[in-house]
Amino acid sequence: MSREQKERILKEYLNRMSMRGIPKVEGKPLTTVYSLVRSRGIH
């Protein structure tokens, strides 16, 4: 996953997009998105 995509996922999460909506838009598994958010210390 590129740095740009990681940043975009985090911005979407911080802008209140649902955890299930992000993987649908980005084409990544839910567990990948969840792991990325948790690794950055965002709850």
User: What is the per-residue pLDDT across 1-43, written as a single tens digit (0 to 9) for each?
Assistant: 999 999 999 999 999 999 999 999 999 999 999 999 999 987 7
Check: CB of residue 9 under 8 Å from CB of residue 39. no
Rounded to whole angstroms, how far apart are CA atoms 24 and 29?
A: 8
Query: Has this prediction a pTM greater than 0.75?
Result: yes
Residue 3 CA to residue 16 CA, distance in Å, equals: 20
Of 15, 13, 4, 20, nearest to 39 (Cα)? 13
d(CA 2, CA 18): 21
